[in-house]
Structure 1
Amino acid sequence: MTLLYLHGLESKLSPEKRDVLERFATVIAPDMDYNSDPNIFKLLLKNNNEHSFDLIMGSSMGGFMAYYIANTIKCPALLFNPALPHRPIAQNIPEIDSKNTPAFLQFVLGGQDEVIKANSTLKWLAENRLPTVDIKISIHNELGHQIPVSIFEKEVIEFFKQIELLKLN
């Protein structure tokens, strides 16, 4: 199983979080400069042609990008505080084709996130909900924008449980 992990703006996947992910899948985590390249989406689609991603995860700006990639290649995704309601920089992304949506998306939101407020994301999801996609939303009241390894691990484990259930159905 191949997993694409997309880091946030001016961030990277930490070795501790990579260790968590590698328990479940082969991890592809490209370094991206969202500020200088508005065509990250096209680059990621090219990477998909090379690696055939089975799952996608992303945080913040990476969560934004993971949402659109997942909805283009029909792939389940785990999104941590995704920058969907307001993104800090411009990226060229396509319209979502409702025929290509994944079966499952899991969102993890921080109740104390001052960068991407949970209520803004919930409102965005309500206004942009894709009717063919099952969505799981976890709101951690104590969580800010940064995701501690303990919460990251808990949510990754839950995501893989959901993926296994999808395979059984």
Structure 2
Amino acid sequence: MNLIYIHGLDSDANSTKGLLLEKYCQQHHPDITVLRPDLNKSPAQVREQLLSLIEGLNNSQDEQTGSSNTVLVGSSLGGYFSTLISNQIDCPALLLNPSTQPHITLQRFSDNSASNQDSSDESSDNKVLHTTAGGWRITPSDLQWFADHQLSEVHYPKKIAVLLKQGDELLNAELSQAFYQGQGASVTVQAGGDHRFSDFGEQLPMVIEMLRELVRS
């Protein structure tokens, strides 16, 4: 099995959860390969990079075993991209505190930019509104892309599992729960916690079983 860890907004290929997942699989599940691509680029580029990566992995697996077992693990904004990709190609995905409305939540960068700049500087679609910790330079074009690619449904709900923390301080867990449960996906809500899923390492045995179940579905 191949796992592609899709990091969130202010993260990169060396995210804590991605590294924990990779180390755990190396020690306890050598049959699982974890890939951690850096996705600090425009959303259109992220989607194309992930689709290309999955296609390459699946083609390689098909040649070797006659089957393809690639699963996405998406955190926060990575959960949004995982759902988008799953909708497009029927790929299993486990979502951790997923973002469901980046076209709304990321609008804060546009609002901050407007309040800090003269109106004469606000017309360019390519101006930088915010630079993430990983180096993604967010522009108005990126925000428009999210507005044009809103999540309105889950095409393959049996291929989606969601882990939510009620204590998520950045995203509305109830909103995510309502969306994915309403679409028929499996949703597990855990009390307390935080957006970063600080106890992720402790939950890895359960996470691996959930991933294997998604592949079997």
Q: TM-score, normalised by structure 1?
A: 0.77
Residue pairs, 1:1-169, within 5 angstroms: 1-12=1-12, 13-14=15-16, 15-22=19-26, 23=29, 25-33=32-40, 36-39=41-44, 40-52=46-58, 54-86=70-102, 87-88=105-106, 90=143, 91=145, 101=156, 103-125=158-180, 129=183, 135-147=185-197, 148-163=199-214, 166=217
Equivalences, count? 158
Deviations 1:102-134 (A, max 9, x none): 63211011101121111111233355x2xxxx5
Q: Is the 8 A contact 2:167 2:191 kept in 1?
A: yes
Q: Give the 3-state SS of the residue equivalent to 2:161 in structure 1.
A: strand
Matches of 2:72 and 2:204 in 1, distance apart? 15
Q: TM-score, normalised by structure 2?
A: 0.62
Q: Aligned-pair distance for 1:60?
A: 0.1
Q: Aligned-pair distance for 1:83?
A: 0.4
Matches of 2:5 and 2:78 in 1, distance apart? 8
Q: Percent identity?
A: 24
Where do 5+ consecutive residues of structure 2 fail to align?
Answer: 59-68, 107-141
Q: Give the 3-state SS of the residue equivalent to 1:47 in structure 2.
A: helix
Q: Name whichever structure is richer in helix by fraction.
A: 2
CA RMSD of aligned residues (A): 2.8
Where do 5+ consecutive residues of structure 1 fail to align?
Answer: none
